[in-house]
Amino acid sequence: MTILGNVEKYATITPKVVKLYGPIGKQIKRSATISPEEKYPFKIVNVRAKSGKNINYKLEEIKGPKVVKYILTIENIKKEKGKYHDVIHLKTNNKIHPEIKIRVYGNIFGEKQEGKQ
């Protein structure tokens, strides 16, 4: 059986995956932009991390002339070497797409030693 149809995008999310890679002790912060499509407006009504153990996050709403866009800023707070992953859940007031998930991957490594490449 074959089903044909158009899939319409309800939001533009850039990037869809946030990578927090860097050395211990350096501030590592990245942002993702969530822009609802004009045809499918929504508001983000709640933000939560699955774990939140290694990250801080902040959501900022920016009102444009026609639509609102959101900037999600995620910052590493892990103080030791290691990898982690988390998921940020953005709850919307859209019944068709009630939740947006942003995956977060962290890789904190030891500082580069002198004389070694």
**pTM summary value:** 0.86
pLDDT at 112: 52
What percent of the chain has a predicted confidence (pLDDT) above 90? Answer: 74
pLDDT at 91: 97
47 phi and psi, to 5 degrees? Answer: -135, 135
pLDDT at residue 24 tops 90: yes
* CA gap 90, 44 in Å, rounded: 6
pLDDT at residue 116 tops 70: no
In a domain, 64, yes or no: yes
- What residue numbers bound the domain in which 37 lies? 11-109
In a domain, 5, yes or no: no
**CA nearest 47: which of 80, 29, 74?**
74
Task: Indicate the residue type of 34.
Answer: I
CATH of the domain at 34: 2.60.40.10
Q: Average of pLDDT values for 58-73?
A: 91
Q: Which residues neighbour 58 within 8 Å (Cβ) at sequence distance 6 or greater?
A: 72, 73
In a domain, 2, yes or no: no
In a domain, 70, yes or no: yes
Q: What is the pLDDT confidence band of residue 117, given thresholds at 50, 70 and 90?
A: very low
In a domain, 31, yes or no: yes
pLDDT tens per residue, range 1-14: 887 777 778 899 99
- Number of domains present in the structure of the chain: 1
* CA gap 21, 83 in Å, rounded: 9
Beta strands in 42-112 (DSSP E): 44-49, 55-63, 68-76, 82-92, 99-109
In a domain, 115, yes or no: no
